C-alpha cells in the first residue's frame, strides 16, 4: 500500500512551469498605498509558491530596472473546498 501511495503522490507533485504575471496598474493602485496580496482562483489541495517583487515606474522603464532584485517568496497551501 505504501509504495502505491508514494508513487501516486510523486506523480501528483510534479513541478509546474513558472508563470509570470504583471499586475494591471491604473491611477487607483498607483496612488493608494496597499500591501495586501490577493490570490484567488486556485486549484484545490495544492501547494503554490509565489515570488513577489516591489516595482516602481514600470511604465517608464523596463521591469529589470523598475523592480527589486530579490522578491518575497510566499507559500500557499490549499485544501479541498478552498
Provide the strand spans (E) within 1-82. 47-52, 72-77
* 82 found inside a domain: no
- Overall domain count for the chain: 1
C-alpha separations of 69 from 2, 56, 72 in Å? 43, 13, 10
- 12 within a domain of the structure (yes/no): no
Write the pLDDT tens digit of every residue in 10-49: 555 667 676 666 666 666 666 666 666 666 666 667 777 8
User: Is 69 domain-assigned?
Assistant: yes
Domain extent, residue 62, equals: 18-77
Per-residue model confidence as pLDDT tens digits over 59-70: 787 777 888 888
The answer as to whether 32 is a domain residue is yes
With contact defined as beta carbons under 8 Å apart, do 68 and 55 qualify?
A: yes
Name residue, grid cell 486556485.
42
Amino acid at each position: 500500500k505504501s509504495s502505491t501511495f508514494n508513487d501516486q503522490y510523486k506523480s501528483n507533485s510534479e513541478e509546474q512551469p513558472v508563470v509570470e504575471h504583471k499586475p494591471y496598474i491604473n491611477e487607483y493602485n498607483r496612488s493608494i498605498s496597499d500591501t495586501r496580496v490577493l490570490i484567488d482562483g486556485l486549484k484545490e489541495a495544492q501547494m503554490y509558491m509565489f515570488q513577489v517583487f516591489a516595482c516602481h515606474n514600470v511604465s517608464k522603464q523596463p521591469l529589470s530596472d523598475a523592480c527589486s532584485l530579490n522578491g518575497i517568496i510566499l507559500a500557499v497551501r490549499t485544501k479541498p473546498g478552498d
